[in-house]
Structure 1
Amino acid sequence: MPLVLYLLALAVFAQGTSEFMLSGLVSDIAADMDVSVSAAGMLTSAFAVGMVVGAPLMAALSLRWSRHRTLLAFLVAFLLAHVVGALTTSYGVLLATRVVGALANAGFLAVALATATGLVAPDAKGRATSVLLGGTTLACVAGVPGGALLGQLWGWRAAFWAVALVTLPAVVAVARSVPSDSPGGAPASARSELAALRAPRLLVTLLLGALVNGATFCAFTYLEPLATHVAGVGDAWMPGLLALFGLGSFAGVTLGGRVADSRPLPLLAAGSLALLAGWAAFALTAQHTAATVAFAFVQGTLSFAVGSTLIARALYAATAAPTLGGAFATAALNIGAAVGPWAGGRAIDAGLGYRSPLWVSAALTALALAAGGGAALLARRSARVRPAGLTPGPGRTPAPPRP
């Protein structure tokens, strides 16, 4: 893999730390800002909403710019949002900085995905994606637990300052290492890319990505109150538990990178079934510390193996829309990341307890399995209905393959 992919992953590490770190800071932010735990959890949803809106919007607006200039602009905006977030005493301003930071993050990730997959062979998109997403998983391993530790030692604002500081070398790395190129295209290119995004195979893959990521974020956002109030994990052990989830996510992305280009469907089917069983088993045994520790690793592995493979399949399905394809994949994942914490927070507010987000995660995974299975059955039925020997000609479009 080209060196520039690993430098882009450094920037993704800083952004992933910001996106995930609130899972270890929810209680502290709620106390400092005098809001409920579910309101503090909504900061994660606000970030996800910004990612949903920002991914296609920022990618479309940046089509006229060089990728070098675009990546730099988004990184600087991301850095400034975290400086303001670290300084503010207003929950409303903090919420706004999460949205602005997410807009910048979304634009950066969409363009970075297009840059990464454009630098490798056409059949290596899965491996390129896994390198880039490796920055996110390393954020779970080191950045998120580090943010939780900083929060315990010096308050949650220290974690925001740390993200800003880590972003600085990423800015320098992108400025010096990402090659300058021609603009991404004219408005006509944007229209042609949008037309390519209507493929049924791509739409189903995006739906599955949103549901699986929703399950991941629903459980992960409330892992800290679940572990401390239900499993009896002490605050001092939370950074280690978050790091364990991160190690699992790194293992999952690594597995996805090895399999996504060659055998994606078996991984998606078996991984999704295992995810469903895992969320249900986690909910039933969350009162046991050993079970919570084990499932933090196992569910992190499964979630990111399935999620990273779905991103790779979306990029394969959107070869005619390289920039907006990555943007819509980013948006779909973050629709899930917005809905998941919101649904988990509503379950907690309804008095169902801190383990209720795990049941919501199980329900979202079950919906993904139902949607994927339904799409596969429709594709097979369409293939049987098509007369034998009929091959798609210039005016015909073949039935969409399974996602």
Structure 2
Amino acid sequence: MGLLALALGGFGIGLTEFVIAGLLPQVSRGLDVSTAAAGWLISGYALTVAVGAIAVTAATAGMPQKPILVGLLALFVAGNLLCALAPNYPTMLLGRVVAALCHGSFFGIGSLVARRLVPPERASRAVAMMFAGLTVANVLGVPFGALVGERWGWRATFWAITAIGAVALIAIAALIPRWAGGAGGAGDAGGAGVGRKADLRSQLHAFHSTQVWLTLAATALGYGGMFGAFSYLAYTFTEVTGFSSTDVAWLLVVYGTGLVVGNIAGGRGADHNRDVTLLVSLAGLAATLTVFGLLASSRPAAVILVFLLGVFGFATVPGMITRVTDAAGGVPLAASANVSASNVGNAVGAWLGGLVISAGWGYAAPLYVGAGIVGVGLVVMGWAARGSVNGDRGGGRGTATGDAVEAQRS
């Protein structure tokens, strides 16, 4: 039940991230701002996630993690409440920033709590369960926002998300055991609880590990390649494949369904052999993007390939998070840094995709750029896997955190 509570929190946070895309025209008209200004409600959120994931986790170092999760969801509720009540654009943007502050730390800290709730050999599947809420939100977010916004107005969407956040807050407070949400520190995933300053210092010390940085780099490159292509898929579908603009919505649902499948498969695979799963997923993602570029003019191929893009793209998520936290000795800051790395990758990938379109290379070009970025990520992941075979922390199954907890509980 604790995992379901975390998944519900992830669902609410995912809705907040994705729902705005379907509401931008309504918000722009309602607050009397330009489309470009309304776009900052998306980019401002993403930038806040990238910075806030590390800043909030560092600021709460050494504190019990269950109360932190409850506090983060309270922040989430407050941010969405501000959006629902916003009388003007600055208040709306502030609400988005407040809600975004909880995003990275919730998934970073929540992933450590999730894996404490299960036996060590199911660690990556537990993380996948928490992220299932995010993947389902990706499938439902845009159509949910558009439907509710069209029927009752865009503010009703944020009222609904506020209510979901409140339910998730209560569920986590009631269902997460105290032993699973203790204070976490370096080498102490089970939560023995050390002093805040010492814990922050030890968490920062964990970043001396080469495996941590290689895993963060592989995360950023994998995400950057996928989202660099995904950011322009609507143009690829309409300008290259020949779909109508009304077809884009169901095609994105196909992509989101792939995310759900990839999340489940990636969690199971990572618990069996994490590095092999990550290497296969990145190789599959690079191959999918390349073939997608070659066959972008074919409608049947585009439907199949956008599904595979979601599958291989998100299959890396559970394994990357358990890998980076194991390499860092179970510190929460590493898990949150992984979320920041993915958002940095998203921003850089989208920027590079835009550059090739502006250079006149066509709307299929971001697919090839994405394949190249993921290819570099595959090389980095191969280097990391080779290092783990030679004895560095980070490879194998996601068991370091779970082992620490088992030792504490016994």
Q: TM exceeds 0.5? A: yes
Partner letter of residue 225 of structure 2? A
In the alignment, does 2:124 pair up with 1:126?
A: yes
> Which of 100, 103, 108 is equivalent to 2:101?
103
Q: Is the 8 A contact 2:73 2:102 kept in 1?
A: yes
CA spacing shift, 1:284–1:97, aligned 2, 3 Å: farther
Give the match for residue 401 of structure 2. Answer: none
Distance in structure 1 (CA, Å) of the matches to 2:289 and 2:261: 18
Q: Is the 8 A contact 1:42 1:341 kept in 2?
A: no
> Which of 205, 209, 222 is equivalent to 1:195?
205
Give the match for residue 395 of structure 1. Answer: none
Give secondary structure in 2 for the equivalent of 1:260: helix
Shift of 1:372: 2.7
Write the mapping of 1:4-403 to structure 2, written as runs, cut at 5 A: 4-22=2-20, 24=22, 33-36=33-36, 43-86=41-84, 88=86, 94-150=92-148, 159-180=157-178, 183-184=183-184, 185-186=194-195, 187-318=197-328, 320-350=329-359, 352-375=361-384, 398=391
Unmatched segments (≥5 aa) in structure 1: 384-397
Distance in structure 2 (CA, Å) of the matches to 1:30 and 1:353: 29
- The range that moved more, 363-372 or 178-187, is 178-187
Give secondary structure in 2 for the equivalent of 1:292: helix
Q: Is the 8 A contact 1:138 1:250 kept in 2?
A: yes
Partner letter of residue 35 of structure 2? V
Q: Is the 8 A contact 2:211 2:387 kept in 1?
A: no
Q: Give the CA RMSD over aligned residues.
A: 3.1
Q: Is the 8 A contact 2:327 2:394 kept in 1?
A: no
Give the match for residue 387 of structure 1. Answer: none
Shift of 1:11: 0.5
Shift of 1:377: 6.2
Alignment identity in percent?
A: 34
Partner letter of residue 189 of structure 1? D
Shift of 1:299: 0.5
CA spacing shift, 1:44–1:116, aligned 2, 3 Å: same
Distance in structure 1 (CA, Å) of the matches to 2:64 and 2:16: 26
Shift of 1:224: 3.5
Distance in structure 2 (CA, Å) of the matches to 1:238 and 1:29: 21
- The range that moved more, 153-162 or 69-78, is 153-162
CA spacing shift, 1:379–1:243, aligned 2, 3 Å: closer
Q: Is the 8 A contact 1:106 1:330 kept in 2?
A: yes
Shift of 1:251: 0.8
Distance in structure 2 (CA, Å) of the matches to 1:182 and 1:358: 43
Shift of 1:62: 1.8
Shift of 1:74: 1.1
Shift of 1:163: 2.6
Distance in structure 2 (CA, Å) of the matches to 1:126 and 1:256: 8
Give the match for residue 404 of structure 2. Answer: none
Distance in structure 2 (CA, Å) of the matches to 1:358 and 1:155: 36
- The range that moved more, 136-145 or 68-77, is 136-145
Give secondary structure in 2 for the equivalent of 1:124: helix
- The range that moved more, 202-211 or 238-247, is 238-247
Q: Is the 8 A contact 2:228 2:349 kept in 1?
A: yes
CA spacing shift, 1:173–1:237, aligned 2, 3 Å: farther
Distance in structure 1 (CA, Å) of the matches to 2:208 and 2:321: 16
Shift of 1:339: 2.3
CA spacing shift, 1:86–1:338, aligned 2, 3 Å: farther
Q: Is the 8 A contact 1:45 1:342 kept in 2?
A: no
Distance in structure 1 (CA, Å) of the matches to 2:310 and 2:228: 12
Shift of 1:183: 4.6
Shift of 1:349: 4.8
- The range that moved more, 73-82 or 204-213, is 73-82
The aligned length equals: 382
Shift of 1:277: 1.9
Report the TM-score when normalising by structure 2. Answer: 0.81
CA spacing shift, 1:268–1:68, aligned 2, 3 Å: closer
Q: Once the two structures are superposed, what CA deviation does each residue of 1:40-77 show, in whole Å capped at 9, x if it has no partner? A: 66654433322221122211222344323211221121
- The range that moved more, 122-131 or 200-209, is 122-131
Q: Once the two structures are superposed, what CA deviation does each residue of 1:351-385 show, in whole Å capped at 9, x if it has no partner? A: 555444323322221221232344556778xx6xx
Shift of 1:132: 0.9
Give secondary structure in 1 for the equivalent of 2:60: helix
Partner letter of residue 263 of structure 1? N
Shift of 1:160: 3.8
Shift of 1:212: 0.8
Distance in structure 2 (CA, Å) of the matches to 1:258 and 1:364: 26
Q: Once the two structures are superposed, what CA deviation does each residue of 1:139-197 show, in whole Å capped at 9, x if it has no partner? A: 12333432344456566655444433322221221232223465554221221122123
Report the TM-score when normalising by structure 1. Answer: 0.82
Q: Is the 8 A contact 2:24 2:35 kept in 1?
A: no
